[in-house]
Structure 1
Amino acid sequence: MYSALRHSGYDKGGYLFLPSYVMRTHGSRKQQEALKGVNVKNMRKVFEALDTLGSTKWRVNNKVLAVVESIWASGGNIAGLVDRNDIPIPEKPYSEDSTEIQEWKWSLRKANKVNRERHSQRCDTELKLSVTSLTLPCVSICALLDGFYFDASPVARKMENEEGFYYPHNLDFRGRAYPMHPHLNHLSSDLCRGVLEFAEGRPLGRSGLHWLKIHLANLYSGGVEKLSHDGRLAFVDNHLDEIFDSAENPINGNRWWLAAEDPFQCLAACMNLSEALKSTSPLSTISYLPIHQDGSCNGLQHYAALGRDNLEAAAVNLVAGEKPADVYSEIAVRVHNIMKRDSNKDPATNPNALLAKLLIDQVDRKLVKQTVMTSVYGVTFVGAREQIKRRLEEKGHISDDRLLFSAACYTAKVTLAALGELFQAARNIMGWLGDCAKVIASENQPVRWTTPLGLPVVQPYYKSERHLIRTTLQVLALQREGNSVEVRKQRTAFPPNFVHSLDGSHMMMTAVACRDAGLYFAGVHDSFWTHACDVEKMNQILREKFVELYSMPVLENLLESFETSYPSLVFPPLPERGNFDLLEVLKSPYFFN
């Protein structure tokens, strides 16, 4: 297929024939007006980044796809695939006992909910697999599903030797890039990522073999990804027999790869590494596999750079260390300590004491990870409670739903308290951003700003208005954007949206620089991908671009833009910041790793 059209305006670029827009505005008039009104020259860097992402050519990894198809045909229910069978519906008890009837109704609702979820997941899996089959060997499903029209026979001849496809990209309103094609793409699940690879291969080389092994260890996870690089290499070398078995006999062998956190991606890495190590010239083996370098709790990394706090910077790997600092484990230790104190209190006066005793042995890194990760993006208590509730359900130690709810509430409260202790500077910046947003929204204005790459952003949170359309048959009531802003939403959403606009800027700056250096590049927000042989160069670039981004007076520029746009309003002073030296990032091996 052809690569995406180059972007040159609000509605120019992306798909060849379908209408496509540089941003998903979801009907926000203010955001559309801001984009249409900006000088195209000011958007040049944004357009370049989207063009770079859209020029990366992909193909389907047929070996991994064959394994997926085999598992799916056998009923799924392993490697993260949903079970193709429903769970049994509980039979109504013959008893007239109200307690038993109530328990049955509760079980019935729960079974029906699970079965509805399974049905939805099965449909999603079937769609993804049908997409992969349509892309084999040469036709882009991006074209087929999104409305391309062509005569089949000449295209078939023209595409006979074509083995790849492209993903045009556009932005959400905060400036984060996404593929326009929604179904099979590299931002999706482990299944999608496992069956996708670069269409162009490059020889591994010594550096590439090194990074392929580290990539495999990262995908296996289970704590391995928190070892030093040498520790990860040793892990892979100690499991070569399992890796070879996984590659050669993934279905009927020992199936070591299934224990990985990302099993299909791990299997793809096993196959690539096995091919290299069993060849006569491992360093010359051609690798098509995207190798990931991921940020370490990236939202907090951006806050640490904004606040220049030395302790926070060290906690999220902006400073070099012998092994990665693990903020999730640090928070888990703090949560455990709080629960230990609570468990020693009198249950008669402190009802949390019993919950603490129940939960103290269940606290681990995984329990708090999602809440820590999303805390800087504005996760609420309710959101944290639901995240932790899902983790507790996975552990399976608490079967009573009411007790599970109480346990999740308590754990969420303790986790958020532990976060506040460790990341005070980040909290101060979040508070300042929220206070600025409140000042603006109180004047019935949306919060707006311009990213470091020149993208205008307008928060789209307005109260909806009903619009009645009367016909001869009926009256239709439509919801549309009103003229009054949602003050609370403008305030609470601004800190996470602002940081998202900064991580989007970092990714786009890195994408363009990698293109200029001759590297293949794909990005998933805070996860940057390239060929194994080019990881070291990409690592250098992404660190340089992070330092370049935060060498700008980001918060000062933001405050100046607010004071210029709203001269009659008074904004709070900037929060105090530390003296962390940003150049330390250039020497930190685990900043992205």
Structure 2
Amino acid sequence: MLCLTRLGQQMRSWGAGAGPGGGRVFVCLGCAALRVAPEATLLKRASSTPSLKHLYQRELLQVLKARQHQLQGKYVVEQISTREPAQSLPSQSQAAVVTKQSCSRGKQRADEVKGNDEGSASKPTKVKPNKGEPSASKQSRPAQPKTGTVKSKSTIKSIKVNSRQQPTKASGDGGTESLSDATSARKAPLPHAAIAASAGTLERPRRQSALDQNASKVDVKLKDAKAVVGVKDKAEGAKQVQERQQNDPDELRDRLLCYLDACLFSGELKRAQKYVWHYHQDPNLRSLLSVQIYDVMMGAWAKKKFLFKIAKLFSMVGEAGLKPSLVSYAAALECMGRVPNIAQSVVARCLEEMQQNGLELDQLFAHCNFVEDEREVVLAAVRRVRPDYAPMAMPPRSLDQFPLSARFYDLDNSGNYPRLKQTTEELKQGFRRQMDLEKAHIVTIQSVEALKPVTPEMEKKRQALTELHKEWRATLLQAFAEGKKKLMSRRFGSSFKLDLYPYTCLLTDEEYVNAMLESLSSLPPNGDSVMSLSRNLGRKVFNMYCIRKKMRNHVAQRISKVYDAYCELLASDGKVSGFLPRQFWERVEAEVADGYRLSGETVEWTLPVTVTLGSYLLDIMVRELKVYSGTGSTDLVRGTKPIPALYHVYAFRSVRQIGFVKPHPLVTQLQSRAVETELHFDVQALPTSCPPLPWTSPRFGGYVLIPTTLMRSVDMATQHQNLLDLCQVQEARRLHAAMDVLNQLGTCSWIINEPLLDIVIGIFNDRGCDKLDIPPPLSEAPKVPRYDPTGQNGIADRLAFRRALTHARKTTSEMHSLRMSALYKLSIANAMRGRVFWFPHNMDFRGRTYPCPPHFNHLGSDMSRALLLFAEGRPLGERGLDWIKIHLVNLTGTKKKSSLLERRMFADEKMDDILDSADRPLTGRQWWMEADEPWQVLACCMEIARAVRSPDPKEYISHFPTHQDGSCNGLQHYAALGRDTIGAASVNLKPLDMPQDVYASVAQQVDVFRAEDAKNDVKIAQVLGGFIGRKLVKQTVMTVVYGVTRYGGRQQIEKRLSEMDDFPKEYVWDASAYLTKLVFSSLREMFTGTREIQNWLTESARMIARAGQSVEWVTPLGLPIIQPYHRTQRSVLNGHMQMIGLCNSTDVNQKPNIMKQKNAFPPNFIHSLDSTHMMLTALYCYREGLSFASVHDCFWTHAATVDIMNRVCREQFVALHSQPILEDLSSFLISKYSVFAPASRRKKASAEFKHLMDFLTLIPPKGEFNLEEVRDSTYFFS
């Protein structure tokens, strides 16, 4: 269908009185486009006007389709004589008005008209008329022509419908707006009419005349038109429809929101509005528009003071079947507040409708995230009709359904919360330093690798590398600017594709180039995948964009203001006490931040957006970066032949072909010879210089400016964040416990164990040590083998050569990864030397907490844990030294079945070895190296040596973290859930004189089964005699309760058997399969209650997933949890370098993965319970004034406060399992999934649903174990 604005000039050439060839012109009120007949003229015009050939062919198809429907009685056409006077349609042929169903088609075609006006190549789509559609007089909405289109006004004004000219009104953005839009605004709900009335008096369009139903018959068939429109055109149209059906609507909606956000930030409001209008006009695309998208546009127009635009958007919200949100009304009120002399009645009617829709004004100020001066402007608008109005805080909901949370928060604020040793001024200085680092986004630290003496060759290479970097920077700046111009030129094409141009305007060109060069500096010699590099590059840009956005919106300034007051709670000289960090921050934020909420929403980029932008930047790097090598010259910077610095190659990983980007060997060689001693990290990879911002919402907390979420998730998994956002709006108090725990863990300050760090660095720079898990340098890697058919200088057998080559390359790659990992850890620790630092925390979807910095933290390796000390010191007191000795013996891995007294006595017996290890760790007897955790043992030896040599060990100030570890914590929770007496005794829930080692008990039971089989001449049982021990079965026993399968258990045992030098290798496979069966049988016999609960959870999850739902539950502390396992959806992203495959197994629009849902539910449920126990312990330890850290089920505190922590730990375990956990789970699952009863009457579906509901009530019976006994159990945590 041809657009009027595009054909205006062409129409004049046809002359007045008739269309081309004396045909008829049909005018559709819904889209203001022409349909021209007869067909022969269209074909003639198409051949004579090549530039419009494609459009004419499309028009012919539309005409024939319209006539086909007309013949079927679907159109009512008013025939207008071609001999009527020209004033009916000046300088045009006469018109026929297509009504009823045709106007619904006109609505569908409006976006095509606008798309054609923009040069759109969108394909026409056949849409069946909807039943019960209103007539044209109620539904007509002429499409708006493109702003600035040549002669668009004159063309539109030249057309009269029913001898009455359609009036137009100039819009604020320089285009034209039909007053039919104003009419829809007048008929819209109150705020639309109020805003429209304030913009001026609007004239109601006159009623259209009755339509003559006499239609001329047409004998042209639709198949003739199909011959005109090319096969390629049809194939492309079908492909678009297919892609639209296959694409995830939620993902497309998120991509559109990201695009609009980028457009608005870069000042392209008109383009953003054009896209929203295009999507709104297309019935197939309208469903992609959410209220949030309309709200974004309303907020942008509010700042421009365009009331009429907001009225139109309100009308569009109603047309889309949506309801305005609080943000919608906030935007309307903001616009009213910015317009001078606004009528009070307009504001009053807006507030009236908001109340009619069930939205309160106090809710608006409580939940909307205002930026800049928005809050003052909205409040000023409200006070024009309510002068005395003051926003009131919304009352929190009760926590009665979560007694554990209610019990903690119902206590008075007399808790002895700990303070930091820093003063208020020192904390403020640390905050300023952290903010400066985050603004820069990149931190440069010195490497710990030994610095060789600077030779002339090294100096030459460093200078060459510096010159090369300067040249690369200039090249990338020029290439990026040129690429941006090309992206800009493509925007004037025919497509409404979400292009990359807005994303290239968010930062300065220099910042994009810096991100590219920084990613290049961390590229390993073997390269990295295109997917990984693209994602990391895109994420860098997103983080920098969020920082810039917070700076522009003055959020950073307000955060700084609130943090200064927040320091009074934490500092040693602070004047505020009795508050949790979140409570005090919220109070200060309300008082100091002028009523603004700092947890403004960030539009999170989707993975396709991030990867596409990163791929574009990566493509520039691969294309433009060059190195130079002269023939026979050693000068690698200037030569006669430029060669690419980066190569795009493909390699197979398993059966998949993966694209890689690898540096040229000359680049790697130049970097290695220059011996650069600097490492570059994103700032979030390092600990913070000040206490992290307290978590106050799912989207605010942790780092100062860098966006961080409360719950970490895999790429493209959105259900967790959506669940938390909904919880924040409806029942925010449910999240308080989890946020307060993360805040407590984040405010725990740390320092580096410097003497131990020096020892580790020394070994690291001296070829490493495999025994101590210090990886050697690449110079120790195996040499790449050579192939020699003669066998004199290499391997003669080709197959053996390939195997040796593969093994050498794999070993080298692994050595490089391990070496770089250790280098990062040690370099970061060295950078933190002499400083106090903090670890921001967040959690996974099960509630397990993790530090945000990925490389160096206390959840890391043995070496990382040994290097960390509490920044706060405490005197050892009466029992502190004894606890350190017990902790030392625990770390050695010996005395597992010994009492605490025996462990302490063993430490006293080994005191000479302990002191020798502390004094001469590398030259003495090296007793510490034989331990299971050697570096932590050495750190413990040094601490004991300092304590025993102090004048009074009781007064010795210790910073050393002392651990208390659960005894197979998963089985402990299972035993407590089932009140299993035998199981409880096996995992030390019962108070006994000696600790029970469940792993050794299982090993003994397995050996009993093996001995019986050996007597029956089972060969593999006889071979295994004398090899079964605690270490062999420990990992499998530990992970069985977390859902490990027989296949996984066999792999674990196979690995342990392979590590035994004297076990016959030919029996490893058979022995591992045999032992796995015995381990599972032993656990079933020892833990009957555990198996029943596990089976109930598994079967419940299986039936829930079969019903098409994901398993969801709520922890006893109120944290909502949903399993993200769905059927994998594979898609292909059209990257700039290659096609990038994306695999999404978390898409909520896909059916649940039944296997993963059922297998993961038991372990995930138990993980949620052990995280709840840890949270309760952390909260009450914080109230007791303790320093507390955790590694899941291993709790850390000072040696002097171990007894307090042990008491709290046991009390909270009893309190947790005193709740009806399984009963509450059953009730929740029934209430959650009972609403999904099958609508069909199929007997099978109804029977399965009834079976599910019945099965959920069959809670496994409980035993007779008394939970109160846990309070007196010495070895519950020890």
Question: Does TM, normalized by the shorter one, top 0.5?
Answer: yes
Separation of aligned partners in 1, 2:883 and 2:1207: 14
Alignment of 1:474-485 (within 5 A): 475-480=1139-1144, 481=1147, 482-485=1149-1152
- Establish whether residue 512 from structure 1 lines up as the match of residue 1179 from structure 2: yes
The question of 1:130 aligning with 2:802 is answered no
- Which residue in 2 is equivalent to 1:418? 1082
Asked if 1:456 corresponds to 2:1123, the answer is no
Provide, for residues 267-291 of structure 1, a one-character-per-residue CA deviation record: whole Å limited to 9, x for no partner.
Answer: 1110111111112211111111110
Point out the more displaced range, 74-83 or 21-30.
74-83
Rate the CA distance shift 1:471–1:409 in 2: closer, same or farther, 3 A.
closer
Q: Distance in 2 between matches of 1:426 and 1:53?
A: 32
Query: 1:112 offset after TM fit, Å?
Result: 4.8
- Contact persistence 1:563–1:571 (CA under 8 A): no
**Counterpart residue number, 1:145:** none
C-alpha distance in 2 between matches for 1:114 and 1:361: 33
2:882 paired with 1:210: yes
**Counterparts of 1:321-470 in structure 2 under 5 Å?**
321-346=992-1017, 353-398=1018-1063, 400=1065, 403-470=1067-1134
Provide the residue aligned with 2:767 in structure 1.
75
1:170, distance to aligned residue in structure 2 (A): 0.6
d(CA) in 1 for partners of 2:1136 and 2:773?
51
Residue 72 of structure 1: how far off its partner (Å): 1.5
Deviation of the 1:470 alpha carbon: 4.9
> Any idea what the Cα deviations from partners look like across 1:205-263, whole Å, max 9, x if unmatched?
12111111111111111x32431001101110000000001111111111111111111
* Per-residue CA distance 1:7-37 (angstroms, 9 max, x = gap): 1111111111110111012232222221110
State how 1:32-431 maps to structure 2 within 5 Å: 32-38=721-727, 39-77=731-769, 78-84=771-777, 85-87=780-782, 112-138=809-835, 164-221=836-893, 223-346=894-1017, 353-398=1018-1063, 400=1065, 403-431=1067-1095
User: How far apart, in 2, do the equivalents of 1:380 and 1:291 lie?
Assistant: 34
User: Quick one: which amino acid aligns to residue 1179 of structure 2?
Assistant: V
Give per-residue Cα distances to partners, 1:52-72, cap 9 Å, x unaligned: 111100111001111111222
| Cα distance, 1:493 vs structure 2 | 0.3
Greater alpha carbon shift after TM alignment, 419-428 vs 521-530: 419-428
1-structure distance, mates of 2:1140, 2:799: 40
CA separation in 1, counterparts of 2:1185 and 2:929?
35
Task: Write the letter of the residue equivalent to 2:1039.
Answer: T
Following the alignment from structure 2 to structure 1, what is the Cα–Cα distance between the partners of residues 954 and 857?
A: 29
Q: Encode CA deviations 1:165-202: one digit per residue, 9 max, x unaligned.
A: 11111110111011111111111110100101111111
Partner secondary structure for residue 226 of structure 1: coil
Contact 2:703–2:840, Cα closer than 8 Å, also in 1: yes
Q: Which residue of 2 aligns with 1:564?
A: 1231
Whichever residue aligns with residue 561 of structure 1, its letter is F
1:10 to 691, 698, 701: 698
Whole-Å separation in 1 of the counterparts to 2:1025 and 2:811: 29
What TM-score comes out, normalization by structure 1 length? 0.90
Instruction: Give 1:408's aligned amino acid.
Output: S
Partner of 1:498: 1165
3-state SS of paired residue (1:446): coil
Find out whether 1:29 has 2:718 as its counterpart: yes
Give the aligned residue type for 2:1118: G
Give the direction of change, closer, same or farther, for the CA distance of 1:122–1:474 in structure 2 (3 Å limit).
closer
What is the Cα deviation at residue 549 of structure 1? 0.3
Partner Cα distance (1:292, 1:194) in 2: 12
- Residue by residue over 1:527-583, the C-alpha shift from the partner in whole angstroms, topping out at 9 and shown as x without a partner, is 000000000000000000000000000000000001101124414200111011000
Q: Does the aligned pair in 2 maintain the 1:436–1:571 contact within 8 Å? A: no
Distance 1:474 1:83, change over 3 A: closer
- Aligned amino acid, residue 465 of structure 1: Q
Question: For structure 2, which runs of at least 5 residues remain unmatched after alignment?
Answer: 1-688, 792-796, 1238-1248
1:576 counterpart = 2:1261: yes
How much does 1:409 deviate? 2.1
Whole-Å separation in 2 of the counterparts to 1:258 and 1:500: 33
Tell me, yes or no, if the aligned pair for 1:466 and 1:478 is still in contact at 8 Å: yes
Q: Pick closer, same or farther for the CA change 1:109–1:392 going to 2, 3 Å.
A: farther
Query: CA offsets per residue over residues 339-395 of structure 1, 9 Å max, x none?
Result: 22222333xxxxxx3322222211110111011111100011121122112212222
**1:191 to 1:4, Cα distance in 2 relative to 1, 3 A:** same
In the alignment, the residues of structure 2 paired with residue 104 and residue 396 of structure 1 have an alpha-carbon distance, to the nearest angstrom, of 27
Q: Which residue of 1 aligns with 2:306?
A: none
**Distance in structure 2 (CA, Å) of the matches to 1:130 and 1:471:** 35
Distance 1:477 1:365 in 2: 44
Tell me, what secondary structure is at the counterpart of 1:206? coil
- Percentage of matched positions with identical amino acids: 41
Could you tell me how far 1:292 is from its partner in structure 2?
A: 0.3
* Cα distance in structure 2, aligned partners of 1:457 and 1:410: 37
Rg comparison, structure with higher value: 2
Match of 1:141 in 2: none
1:410 Cα deviation from its structure 2 partner = 2.1
Native 8 Å contact 1:315 1:327 kept in 2: yes
Q: What displacement does 1:111 show?
A: 5.4
DSSP-derived class of the 2:869 partner: strand
Instruction: Work out whether residues 1113 and 1121 of structure 2, in 8 Å CA contact, stay in contact via their aligned partners in 1.
Output: yes
State the one-letter code of the partner of 1:187. L
8 Å CA contact 2:1126, 2:1150 repeated in 1: yes
Task: Give the Cα separation in 2 of the matches to 1:101 and 1:95.
Answer: 11
Cα offset for 1:411?
2.0
1:83 Cα deviation after fit: 4.0
Name the CA distance, whole Å, in 2 between partners of 1:472 and 1:248. 59
* Distance change >3 Å, CA 240–CA 558, structure 1 → 2: same
Counterpart secondary structure, 1:508: helix
Letter in 1 for 2:709: Y
CA offset at residue 472 of structure 1? 8.7
Q: Aligned equivalents of 1:449 and 1:540: distance in 2?
A: 29
Q: Determine the C-alpha separation between the residues in 2 that align with 1:415 and 1:112.
A: 37
Separation (CA, whole Å) in 2 of partners of 1:471 and 1:236: 61
Whether the aligned pair in 2 keeps the contact of 1:8 and 1:40 (CA below 8 Å) is: no
| Deviation larger for 404-413 or 264-273 | 404-413
Cα distance 1:16–1:363, how it changes in 2: closer, same or farther (>3 A)?
same
User: Shift of residue 79 of structure 1?
Assistant: 1.8
Partner letter of residue 724 of structure 2? L
Question: Is 1:65–1:195's contact at 8 Å kept on the other side of the alignment?
Answer: yes
Q: Which residue of 1 aligns with 2:222?
A: none
Residues 115-172 of structure 1 show CA distances to partners (whole Å, capped at 9, x for unaligned) of 433332112111111111111222xxxxxxxxxxxxxxxxxxxxxxxxx111111110
Letter paired with 1:124 = S
Inter-partner Cα distance in structure 1 for 2:1008 and 2:805: 39
CA gap of 1:450–1:278, structure 2 versus 1, over 3 A, is same
The 3-state SS of whatever aligns with 2:1113 is: strand
Secondary structure of the structure 2 residue equivalent to 1:462: coil
